[in-house]
Structures are given as C-alpha cells and as structure tokens.
C-alpha cells in the first residue's frame, strides 16, 4: 500500500523504515513516513582509517569524566583484536562501506575504553536523543513525579447546577491523556475509547453537580508557549502521529486514528471510522473498493494546518483493515471540542462554544484569578512514561518530558529555554557542550548532533544513579520487546543488549548496555550516518557489531572494579527475562 501527502511523493514499501521508531503508537503511521536529512557527511574511509582497538582520539571530555583510554593494556588483548576484526568486516560490508560510522565501547566497571572509532565526531543521533531527554527528566524530576491535569472555573455553581463563566481544562504536559493501560510492560495496551481520560474528567464535572455552563469550554495550554514544531522537523512529519504538534494538552497523543475497510462491494467507497472525533475535522472520501487480489493503492492529501483530509485510491475487497494515525495540528482547540462534546453527551448544556487559550510571549503579568478545581486527572509516575517513551520511541512524550522538566525546575516556557536548561544539566554531569547540540527532545529534528563519547558518558552517569537499574529497564531488549523486538533474535545478543534505537532516513544508531558471554559489563554507542537508501543494510551492520560485542569482549582482570566500589553501583542486569503484558 502506498500513501503520501500533497507535498511528498509516494514512498515504496521497500523503503519504509521501522514503524515504531517513528514515534508512532500504532501499526501504520510510520509506514508512510517521508524523511529528509540535509546533512553532508564524510565517507566511511575516514572511519576505517580511524583508531583501532583501545585507541581513543587524544584526551577528550569523555576521559576527563571517567571514560578512560587504556591503549597499552588493550592492544595485546585477543578479545579486542577479534572484536576489531569483526567491526572492520561489518563496516566494509555492502550497505556499510559508503557510510560514515562512529563507535565507542567501554567497560562499565572500570571506564576502560575498549574500542573507539570517530568517538569525538558529530553524528545525527535520531531517537538516541531520547536518552539525553529521559535521563535528564529522571535526574531532575525524579522517577515518582506525576503531572496534574485539572478542570477549573472562576465562577460558582448555583443551586440549579448552572456554572457561571467558563469551564477551563488546564494542561501541564501530561502525554498520557488517553486510553493507554499502565503500568506499561512490553506491549501497548488500550482500554476504553480514545478520549477516555477526558471522559473521566467530564464524569467528574457532572458528579460535581454541573448541569449548565454559562460561558465557554476552554482548553488552556499556556503552561508553556505554543511552539508546536521544533526546528528541523519537516512538513511531512506534521501529517502523521510521530510528528504530532507539541502542546501542554495532548489528548490521545494528539492524533486521530482512522480505520479504513473495504466497502461492501466492488466499486463502493471504503468504509471508515475515526476516533477521537471532535467534529472540527472533515474527511473527503474518494476511495474505491476493487476486486480481491488487486494491489492496494491509497493516497492521503492534506495541506499544512488544514482540518480537511482527502483520501483517494483503492483497497481490494479481501484486504484487511488499514489504520492511519493522522496528527492533530491544533491540540488545544481539539481538546476543547472533545471535552465540550463529552459534556453535552452527558446532558450538560453549554451556552458558549469551545476555544483554546494559549500562552503569549509578550503578555503583561496579570492579577491571578482564583480558580476552583472541579475535576482532576493524575498521570502515571514519570518512570512509567520514560519506559513507554524509550521502549516504543515516542516523540511527543520525549518532547513533553523536556519541556515539563525545564518548566518545573527552571520556570522555562519556551523551547529555547528548555533546551538551555537541558544543556546546563549535561554540563553539570560532565558532558562538554561541544559534544551535544540538540534542537528538540525526541531526535526527529535533522539538526541534532551528538558524539558517541557523549552518549557513553551519559550512560555511565545514569548507571551510577539510585534509579540507574530502573532506567536500564526502560530500554528495549534485543530480540524481546520495544523497537528491538524483531532484531538480533536467535543471536548471542538476544536478551543481553538493552539499548535505544535511532532510525531516520540515512541514519541508524544504537546505544546502551550489554553483558557479554564472558561476563563483561559494557557501555556502547554505535552511529551510522549517510547510510544510503537501503535501511536494512545499515541495520544489519549495527546488529552485527552488537552481536560481536556480546560474543567477543571480556572483562579485564587487571582493570576490574574493586568489590567495595561495585557494591556502590546498581547491579548490572543479567539476561533480560521476557515479561508478558497484563
């Protein structure tokens, strides 16, 4: 099946990238993703002529922060020599030989650098950016932090149940105002309608005795300023759920699920349903059902910020249902319309209309109005959202984590201020500002740049924290769950690698933790940029290096950490055991 927008050509299925890595909560949105990567990169010969086993590039910030080069002690090690040969073979393979590669592997117990290629060079990280965001959120807010979403009013309810003035839905960056089931284990589960969280709030309003609202239903996302799309995101990103607009109010991850099914007969239009459906959007359906066995050809047209979707094309009579996850471009307006619809369905009369209230950069301070809380929704603990974000690579969740941490701890209301807060955090834990240049919190931006050594520094820092083991458990497990569920199955790396994937066109990255067959506890970061049009080739290179890490590398007896020091570090995970969803 093929889908495009008016501003993008059709994308052949063979060029589709991993759906989940696109930050989608469903099975199809990322399938038709269009990526642009306006970055010129160096060919692979620069990498293959780089340092060999155990050699770092001069004294780097990574060394100053405890990730040390031990070239003399590693040069004679057979395990590292064998690993180096396998890395070079992988980089020289078809699909890897024209790309630009960076790699750093270090011993988690000693800080010893075991292998390094271009570890101090810049790479576009894709979703490895989420490592920086989620570690910062855990460190600054804490694993148990929760977000409160409220329904408020400045007016009073009279004896007849009439509420004077507006009813205001106040968002504070909760990414889970949906029907997602928590605690999240390793599969996304849903319970109830897409608008379940808002329906619960509407039920509380009714239970409070409100029967009529004399004013408007207002959705207030002024918790931070309305900057819906970070720099480096493309027009095509904004069509699908993985590129949904960022807002302090995120209902159902700010997308609409549209399910398409063949019509009742050949020539009939496709049947469709959409949820949540606030009534402010329109779908023009010019599709047709074709004979069984014919090729499905679907096309979506939507202009930027348009509230109209135009579906054309065909689906055969015997085809299974298709789901499109279409991004909401005006999240607060969408939330207000849905809440008003839910209240009216419960018998509440609304004399006004639905509207949004946004923050204003130039607004003058005003005297605070006393607001009465009528209903509230409390988010799951932060650690649960970090687990969901990292396992499933959810872009909107990462963007909100960045902004909420900066708002709560530094009063930041703009994206620039939030990015500045994140930069200060990284500097505070010893990461050089020259090693990380981020323009968003998710990695969807093509303007993000990081070095492999900065990622390994970050991983080492996280491991030393009281929540270090919990953080490790948020990462996908090779061959088992998340965005690594279908990778490295049946290899030595299955269950032994916990790592964050990164995947946009011409970019493939993987960074995290591994336990080798010989018991070495390892930190690693692998980046491939300029990887060509066949994403699977680059993915195979990354996976081959990951398997080699597990199969070849061993702890060094002379550099093992002393028992007393090991006792102060969170236990490195043993082989991950598959957990079943509730």
Domains of the chain: 35-142+382-567 (3.40.710.10), 148-378 (3.50.80.20)
β-pair type (212-213, 162-163): parallel
What pLDDT band is residue 21 in, cutting at 50, 70 and 90? low
pLDDT for 65: 37
Q: What is d(CA 1, CA 112) in angstroms, rounded to the nearest whole number?
A: 49
Q: Which residue has the tokens 């271009």?
A: 118
pLDDT, tens digit, 9 for 90 and up, residues 453-494: 999 999 999 999 999 999 999 999 999 999 999 999 999 999
Name the active-site residue from 24, 178, 247, 393: 393
Q: What is d(CA 63, CA 373) in angstroms, rounded to the nearest whole number?
A: 52
Residue 534 per-residue DSSP state: -
Q: In what order do the strands lie in the sheet with 255-261?
A: 271-275, 255-261, 322-327
Q: CA distances (Å), 364 to each of 178, 360, 371, in order?
A: 34, 9, 20
Q: Which residue has the tokens 């918790």?
A: 223
Q: Which two tokens stand for residue 454?
A: 């900065």
Q: Which two tokens stand for residue 260?
A: 């398409």
Q: What are phi and psi of 393, to 5 degrees?
A: 55, 60
Strand (E) or helix (H) holding 454: helix 452-464
Measured in whole angstroms, how far is the alpha carbon of residue 420 from the centre of its chain? Answer: 20
Is the Cβ–Cβ distance between 318 and 23 less than 8 Å? no
Note if 2 is an active site residue.
no
Q: What is d(CA 113, CA 197) in angstroms, rounded to the nearest whole number?
A: 48
Name the active-site residue from 4, 34, 116, 130: 130
> What HEC string does 257-314 produce?
EEEEECCCCCCCCCEEEEECCCCCCEEEEEEEEECCCCCCEEEEECCCCCCEEEEEEE
Q: What is d(CA 161, CA 157) in angstroms, rounded to the nearest whole number?
A: 6
pLDDT at 293 over 70: yes
pLDDT at 47 over 60: no
Q: Give the pLDDT mean for 230-236.
A: 92
Note if 442 is an active site residue.
no
Residue 570, judged by CB atoms within 10 A of its CB (0-12, 13-18, 19+), counts as: middle
- Our CA angle for 397, 401, 402, nearest 5°, is 120
Q: What is d(CA 126, CA 30) in angstroms, rounded to the nearest whole number?
A: 14
Q: What is d(CA 332, CA 224) in angstroms, rounded to the nearest whole number?
A: 12
Q: What is d(CA 222, CA 127) in angstroms, rounded to the nearest whole number?
A: 27
- Our CA angle for 200, 372, 148, nearest 5°, is 50
Name the active-site residue from 127, 153, 241, 509: 127
How many CB atoms sit inside 10 A of residue 125's CB? 30
What pLDDT band is residue 532 in, cutting at 50, 70 and 90? confident
Measured in whole angstroms, how far is the alpha carbon of residue 89 from the centre of its chain? Answer: 32
Q: Which residues contact 199 (CB under 8 A, 6 or more apart)?
A: 192, 193, 342
pLDDT for 55: 44
Q: What is d(CA 140, CA 146) in angstroms, rounded to the nearest whole number?
A: 13
How many CB atoms sit inside 10 A of residue 486's CB? 11
pLDDT for 455: 98
Is the Cβ–Cβ distance between 280 and 294 less than 8 Å? no
Note if 393 is an active site residue.
yes
With a pLDDT cut of 70, the percent of the chain lying above it is 81
- DSSP H helical ranges for 52-195: 61-64, 71-74, 78-91, 129-141
pLDDT, tens digit, 9 for 90 and up, residues 357-407: 999 877 666 667 889 999 999 999 999 999 999 999 999 999 999 999 999
């Amino acid at each position: 099946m093929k889908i495009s927008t008016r501003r993008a050509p059709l994308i052949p299925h063979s060029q589709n990238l991993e759906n989940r890595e696109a930050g989608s909560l469903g099975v199809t949105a990322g399938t038709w993703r269009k990526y642009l990567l306006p970055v010129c990169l160096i060919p692979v010969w620069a990498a293959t002529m780089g340092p060999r086993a155990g050699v770092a590039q001069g004294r780097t910030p990574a060394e100053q922060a405890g990730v040390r080069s031990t070239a003399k002690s590693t040069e004679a090690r057979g395990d590292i020599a064998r690993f180096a040969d396998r890395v070079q073979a992988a980089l020289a393979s078809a699909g890897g030989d024209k790309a630009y590669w960076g790699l750093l592997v270090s011993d988690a117990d000693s800080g010893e650098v075991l292998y390094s290629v271009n570890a101090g060079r810049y790479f576009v990280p894709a979703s490895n950016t989420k490592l920086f965001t989620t570690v910062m959120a855990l460190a600054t807010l804490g694993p148990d932090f929760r977000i409160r979403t409220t329904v408020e009013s400045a007016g009073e309810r009279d004896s007849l149940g009439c509420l004077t003035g507006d009813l205001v839905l106040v968002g504070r960056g909760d990414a889970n105002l949906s029907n997602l089931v928590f605690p999240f284990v390793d599969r996304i589960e849903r319970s109830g309608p897409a608008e379940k969280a808002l329906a619960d709030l509407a039920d509380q309003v009714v239970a409070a005795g409100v029967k009529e609202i004399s004013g408007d239903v207002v959705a207030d996302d002024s918790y931070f300023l309305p900057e819906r799309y970070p720099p480096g995101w493309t027009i095509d990103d904004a069509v699908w759920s993985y590129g949904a607009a960022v807002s302090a109010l995120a209902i159902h991850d700010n997308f609409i699920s549209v399910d398409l099914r063949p019509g009742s007969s050949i020539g009939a239009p496709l049947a469709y349903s959409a949820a949540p459906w606030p009534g402010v959007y329109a779908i023009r359906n010019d599709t047709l059902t074709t004979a069984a066995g014919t090729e499905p050809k679907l096309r979506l047209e939507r202009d930027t910020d348009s509230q109209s979707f135009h579906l054309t094309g065909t689906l055969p009579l015997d085809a299974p249902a298709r789901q499109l996850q279409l991004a909401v471009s005006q999240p607060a307006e969408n939330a207000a319309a849905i809440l008003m619809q839910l209240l009216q369905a419960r018998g509440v009369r609304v004399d006004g209309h639905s509207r949004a209230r946004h923050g204003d950069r130039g607004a003058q301070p005003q005297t605070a109005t006393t607001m009465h809380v009528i209903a509230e929704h409390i988010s799951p603990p932060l650690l649960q959202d970090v687990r969901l974000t990292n396992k499933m690579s959810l872009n909107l969740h990462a963007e909100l984590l960045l902004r909420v941490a900066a708002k709560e701890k530094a009063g930041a209301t703009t994206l620039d201020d939030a990015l500045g807060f994140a930069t200060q955090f990284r500097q505070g834990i010893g990461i050089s500002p020259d090693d990380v240049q981020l323009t968003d919190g998710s990695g969807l931006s093509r303007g993000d740049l990081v070095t492999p050594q900065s990622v390994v520094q970050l991983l080492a820092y996280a491991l030393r924290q009281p929540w270090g083991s919990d953080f490790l458990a948020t990462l996908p497990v090779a061959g088992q769950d998340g965005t690594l569920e279908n990778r490295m199955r049946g290899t030595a790396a299955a269950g032994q690698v916990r790592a964050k994937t990164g995947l946009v066109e011409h970019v493939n990255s993987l960074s995290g933790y591994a336990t080798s067959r010989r018991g070495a506890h390892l930190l690693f970061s692998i980046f491939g940029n300029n990887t060509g049009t066949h994403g699977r080739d680059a993915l195979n290179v990354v996976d081959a290096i990951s398997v080699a890490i597990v199969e070849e590398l061993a702890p060094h007896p002379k550099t093992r950490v002393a028992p007393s020091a090991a006792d102060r570090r969170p236990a490195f995970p043993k082989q991950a055991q598959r957990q079943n969803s509730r």
